[in-house]
Amino acid sequence: MEERLRFVARLLDGEAMTTVCREFGISRKTGYKIFERYKDSGLEALTDRSRRPVRYANQLPGAIETLIVGLKREKPHWGARKIRELLVRRLDGDIRIPARSTIHAVLHRHGLVKIPVRLRHRATGTSLSTGAAPNDLWCADF
pLDDT tens, position by position, 47-91: 888 888 877 775 788 888 999 999 999 999 999 999 999 999 888
How many domains are contained in the chain?
Answer: 2
* CATH code assigned at 84: 1.10.10
In a domain, 126, yes or no: no
- pTM, two decimals, is 0.48
pLDDT confidence of residue 58: 58
Q: Is the pLDDT reported for residue 1 higher than 90?
A: no
pLDDT tens, position by position, 85-125: 999 988 877 788 888 999 999 999 999 998 888 888 888 88
Selection from 78, 81, 70, 77 nearest residue 103 by Cα: 81
- The span from the CA of 124 to the CA of 113, in Å, is 34
The domain of 85 spans 62-109
CB-based contact 72:112 (threshold 8 Å): yes
